[in-house]
Every structure is written in C-alpha cells, then in structure tokens.
Amino acid sequence: MSKASADGVTVGTRYEWTVKGMDCASCVAKARGAVERVAGVSGVEVSLMKERLRVSLDEARARPEAVERAVGAVGYTAAGRRRLGPDGESGAANGREAGDGGPCGCGDHDHGRKLAQGTHDQDEGHGEGHGEGHDESDTHAHGHGDPAERGLSWWRTGKGRLVILTGALLLAAWGSELLVSPGISRWAFVAACLIGLFPVARRAFALLRAGMPFTIEMLMTIAATGALFIDASEEAALVVFLFAVGELLEGVATDQARSGIRSLVKLLPKTALLMDGGRPREVPADSLAIGNEVLVRPGDRVPADGTVVEGRSGVDESPVTGESMPQTRGPGDDVFAGSINTEAALTVRVTREPSDNTVARIIRLVEEAEESRAPTERFIDRLSRIYMPFIVGIAVLVALVPPIAFGLPWDVWIYRALALLLIGCPCALVISVPAAIASGLSSGARRGLLMKGGSVVEAAAATRQVAFDKTGTLTQGRPVVTDIVPFNGMPQAEVLMLAAAVESGSSHPLAKAILSRAERDGLALPAASAARAIPGRGVVAELAGRGEVHVTSPAEALEAGRLPADLEQAAVALENAGKTVVVVHGAEGPFGLVALRDEPREDAARAIRELARLDVSAVMLTGDNARTAAAIGDVIGIAQRARLLPEDKLVAIRELSQGGPVMMVGDGINDAPALKQASLGVAMGSGTDVALETADAAILRDRVADVPAMIRLARATMSNIHQNVAIALGLKGVFLVTSILGITGLWIAILADTGATVLVTANALRLLAYDPARAGGQSRT
C-alpha cells in the first residue's frame, strides 16, 4: 500500500508505529488528520484497537521523525517505529532503521514468526525488534506505554500526571482562600486554570493547524479562557481538573475494551519442549517450524497447532474454542495452540507456523473485525460531524442574541454559551458503537463465536431464518452403528465381529464405522484373507473357521437368496428410518443386519427449540434423499428440503430471503455458494482454514446450540448500542436545555461530557462478561 506514481510504479517506504493515548474514534481522526498533512506521507492507516499507525513515506521529502512529531503535536505518542517489508512484516524496529542499533542496542530482526505482528508482542510487554532474552524492564525504552501493558499505576501515565497536577493546583488555590484575601486567591485559581489548560490548548492549536477546528480540546480552551474573562476563575480551574479526570477515565475504559484480545494472546506459552534426538530441549515457542515434534507435559499449554503422534490424554480446549469439557486426543488427532494438556504426556508434531496457528488467526480476524465499521457506526460518524458545529452555532447565538436583542447581561449569557461549548464534543456518541462492537466481538471470540465486523453483528441480530446444511452441521458428519439385528439367535456381538473382520482392510466410511464400534466393544476379530470388494454391492473375505463371509447391500443378499422375508422387513424398516443397512451372510445363510446412520448432534434438537424461542425459523437443506432428510428432520424437529444440488441451495436461499434476513450455516466448503448468497454465512468447524476464512462468521465448537447463542450475542450487542446512543444523546439533550436555562454551569457541563463517555464505555464493557449460552439456558457440559 505504498504510494503510487503516475506510471503505476509504487514508491515510498511503508512504516508502522505503536500510538499511545487514543481512546475513541475521534482520537483516530485527529491522529490521521495530523499525519496526512505531513509532506511525503500517503496511505495513512490508524487502528484504535491495535493502537497502530501505518504510512507510506517518500523519504526524499520527509523523514519518519516528521510523522512522530505530527502525532506528538496532537497529544499522542508514536513509538516503536518499524519499517515494513513488501509483505507487511516488520523489517526494523525501536525507532531506528535496520542495523542502526537503537537505544536498546537492537538492530534488524526476523519477525516472520512473531505472532500477529506488532500488537501482540506489545501486549505482552515486549517491544518489536527485541531478540530472545530481552529483559522486560527494557521494554518501551522510550518510556511509552499504558498501565495495562507496562504494569504502571495510573498516576505514572501522562494523563494521570495531568490529573495530579491540576488537582494539586486546584487544592492549593482553595487553600489560598483561607490564608490570603479573595483578590489574591482569585489569581491562584487563574494560575491553576492556565497551567492545567496549557497542554490542552497546545493540542487544540496543533489540531487547528491540521485543519480540525471543531475538537473538544478547542472547545475546552475557549470555554476555560472565556470563564476567566467573565471572572469565573474558580469554575474554570475546576473544569480543567474534571476534564483531565474524564480523559484519564476514558483511557482506562478503552484499555479495558482491548482486554479481550490481550486475554487471547496470553493463551500462548512463551517456550516449548522441542524433541531433539529423543530428548526435550526448551526453545522459544515462536521459533518452532512445521514438522518439529514437541513434548507437552500434563498441565502444559500446547505451544503450536499440531497432530498428536504419541500418547493419549484429555485436552482442555476451552481457552480456544470455549468447549467446557476436556476432549480425549490420541495419535492422529489435531490439537490447538493454547489448549491445556490435562492428564498424560503427549508428543505433538507441529503442523502450522506460530504466526498462523488457530489463536493467531482468531486474533487477526477479531482485530480486523473491530476495524470493520457497522452501518450504525457509519451513520453515527456522519451525525457527529454535524453535531459539534451545530452546538457551536447554538452557543454563538446564545452568547449574542439575548444581550443584543433583549439587552440582557453579557456575562450571564456568555457563561451559558461557554457551558454549551463543553457539551459540544461528540466523543460519547462516536464511541457508543465501536466500544459495544469491540466488546461483543471479544466476548464471542472467547466462546468460540467469531463474527467478522460490526456489519456481521447487525446482520446476525436481524436474522429471522436459519438454513442448515445437514451433513457435518446438524449431524456428526460420519456414520455410526445404530442397530444390530441378529438372525436365528446369533449374538449381536458375533454379528458385529464378523462384519468388522470382513471390513478390516477397507477404508470406506461404513467400514470405519463398523470397525470403530467393534473396537469400542473390545471384540477380538478373526483373521481375514482373500478380501475383495464387489463394486457398488459390498465386500467379501475368507474368515478363519467361517469360510467366505459377505457384507453387502440388502439387494445383493436378496439376489443371492440369503435375505429371508422377516429379515427383509427389518431392513426396509431401518431404511425407512433413514439408515444404511448391510447384510452379513455366508454360505450357510444370513447372520444378521447392521444399520448405520450419520446421527444428529446431541444438541441439535435443543438448538432448534432455542431458535424458535428467539422467533427464528429453521430449515434443513440437504442433497440427501427425502426419506433420509425426513428421518433426521423429524428427530431434530426441523423442516427439510431434500435432493438439493449446490445451485438448488442458492435458489432456496433466495426464496427464503423473501421472508426476511437468512443465516446459512454449513461446513464452509461444499456450501460456499449458499454461504455467500445468504444475508449471513456461518461456517461451523473446529478452526479449519475454510471455517475461519471464507464465511462472515464461524463457530469453532461443533455445537449447533452455538447458532442461537451467536444470534443472542448479536442482539445483546445491538441492544447495548441502542442504550449507549440513548445515554449519549439523552445526556447531551438534557444538559443542552439546562445550560441554556442557566440551571447547570460549567463544571456540571464538563461532567456531563466526560461522564457520558465513561458511562457508554462502561456499559459496553458489560458485554465482556455476557455469556449467550447461559442466557439461553444452554448446558455447559
């Protein structure tokens, strides 16, 4: 995204900084506006949640320091400069170019394996470009960073120091009233106001030079200065102090909104036990490569996505997928980075680079989603651009019209106009939507519900119909043995044993299901030989002590004369229930039937009932025959449409859309066209590439009940947004009237402004603790 010249060739160097001090969307606009005015700068990107600035810089016209000065002039701090390569990865760090050394003595480092470059290292307290073993005390060598990242108390931050300074000056001024005459103490309040106002005014004029006259800093400067001129110095000093307190509280609240991402980052261990020549050796987790084998001891977190090659243990995946019960994992099973080994040692072969593991991809998706603006947010942003000039215009009229037109006192109406200016900042209104969206997305991510942005949240909240794929979504996605019907008194176990022995060399899904059931039941299988497949009909093999035994379709058994009428009736009844039936028979006749079916998920029926309680209808779209679809649909309690090809599913989605917004839930692969056609496509699967990348949203746990949970979370988020907008506009409206009527003064006005911002942010933070599964009465076991 470097700047393009007239001939289409890209020029300029891409740089990235960590920007501290941004608390809302208005802060982002201020930082962007200041940087865009720097000559030689283009492609400016500012991220609030990632606290990141990226620009393309024509170094023939400007140096990176000019960008840092521009950011600093408007009250923020740009630190940890990084030169980006063509792929967007860091090439140099710590405010120096490659090989420059920097204050920490660090030069160019390879960051290709760093998790989710930039934000995550910072969140863990490590500046970009530090090599392994870098001491944490050296982090942020320039002294920047917020309390959450550096472990600093609020009073050691810039905003905290301003609160202490203005508070101490105000107390000193009040104390002077007891010791000196009122005339002298008045000057103490003037001094307290001017000293506290200086950094605010400096930022206001920097923003004015950047083409942004309507800012809270400018309104604050005008109001406090005006109050001094009308001899309201005590209130002016109090207003400056309350403004500083509000700024501090906004910063703390916004930092809490970022905590969801930080909690995901902390899931990943810093080190791993790499198997080297049969012995474990501790190495940095981000140095692991695909194909490495690592030892994961009981109680350890899995350091990378991988496949178990040795050992069997319960693995707690709740930190990643929200699955509350440990899942048994053995050789051949996949495990996620960040999950916890609970029982026995496992050897895991790494299958993904650390920068591309499931947690890293979730973090990237959530961060990108938080920067994707919802339609409501775009509307609020347009409204806020009108709101502040409108309030300023009203304030000018209030200051001029009553004295000029009606001869009323100038000082009274100027005072009221100044109070109006202090409620003219739209910060609370602007942050009302992104704060709620960020909290909702973070809450969902911790519970295995990924939604890619505010527009997806709005679409999920508006959903009135859900279309489900059948295989792998409403069902387990693999057949299991459901019935064993013996013939002539043969034990069920023996029928299953014979079928499993014949199928022992097959890789067919039905064969795997029969073998899995035999293994689960602990059956010893007789030796099989001369096994061969009968295409489209079944399998035959020689079994020790039994001769030739067949496992075939009922039609093949009937043709061979080995399916008596009563067994044929049983087979028909099972097939009418949507099951696949095989007949086990030999030269001496039939031994019995084995029925299999891709069974519904345990929570599927409950999920459909929960959707009904949310006033959302559900339908199953499947390519299976009508009989199988009806058998599954009747068990679950869902309407069905059967024998649908992919293009037929598209038609079905269009038809359903006529009745309102439609959510399509599928596996993210075969259902890709339908997922795109629907108002909202949701992929269900345990962190697969497609599940995470293709659809609008993804459910990491294989739980159908997470579909109503996602809708419930989206609706809670939209409700929170409506509450926030009502709080912001309601408070502004009330104090607009009371300020004009003279009921409230300057310090109440500033409390209303900063208080509204803190209230809407605190209200949004409630979503971090919201559990949509519990809200719907869903069992967590």
The catalytic residues are 469
Rounded to an integer, what distance in angstroms lies between the CA atom of residue 611 and that of residue 613? 5
How many Cα atoms are found within 13 Å in the side-chain-facing hemisphere of 765?
Answer: 15
Rounded to an integer, what distance in angstroms lies between the CA atom of residue 339 and that of residue 305? 9
Structure tokens at 713: 């979370």
Question: Beta strand 465-469 with 662-666: parallel, antiparallel or unpaired?
Answer: parallel
Amino acid at 379: F
Rounded to an integer, what distance in angstroms lies between the CA atom of residue 304 and that of residue 322? 18
Q: Could you give phi then psi for residue 349, rounded to 5 degrees? A: -90, 125
Rounded to an integer, what distance in angstroms lies between the CA atom of residue 249 and that of residue 243? 10
Provide the b/e sequence for 769-780 (b: ≥16 CB within 10 Å): ebbbbeebebee
- For CA atoms 290, 291, 295, 296, the dihedral sign is positive
Rounded to an integer, what distance in angstroms lies between the CA atom of residue 671 and that of residue 679? 14
User: Residue 142 to residues 103, 139, 747: CA-CA distances in angstroms?
Assistant: 8, 8, 36
Residue 515, C-beta contacts closer than 8 angstroms, at least 6 positions apart: 500, 503, 504
Rounded to an integer, what distance in angstroms lies between the CA atom of residue 58 and that of residue 48? 25
Question: Would you say 129 and 109 are in contact if contact means Cβ atoms under 8 Å apart?
Answer: yes
Residue 313, C-beta contacts closer than 8 angstroms, at least 6 positions apart: 298, 328, 329, 330, 341, 342, 343, 344, 345, 346
Rounded to an integer, what distance in angstroms lies between the CA atom of residue 606 and that of residue 128? 48
Question: Would you say 727 and 399 are in contact if contact means Cβ atoms under 8 Å apart?
Answer: no
Q: Is 71 helix (H, G, I), strand (E, B) or coil?
A: helix
Map 189-253 to HEC letters: HHHHHHHHHHHHHHHHHHHHHCCCCCCHHHHHHHHHHHHHHCCCHHHHHHHHHHHHHHHHHHHHH
Rounded to an integer, what distance in angstroms lies between the CA atom of residue 753 and that of residue 755? 5
Provide the b/e sequence for 324-354 (b: ≥16 CB within 10 Å): eebbebeeeeebbbbbbbebebbbbbbbbbb
Pick the closest to residue 208 from 53, 23, 73 (CA basis).
73
Question: What kind and span of H or E run contains 771?
Answer: none
Map 256-267 to HEC letters: HHCHHHHHHHCC
In 442-578, where do the E strands start and end?
449-451, 465-469, 480-486, 528-534, 538-543, 547-552
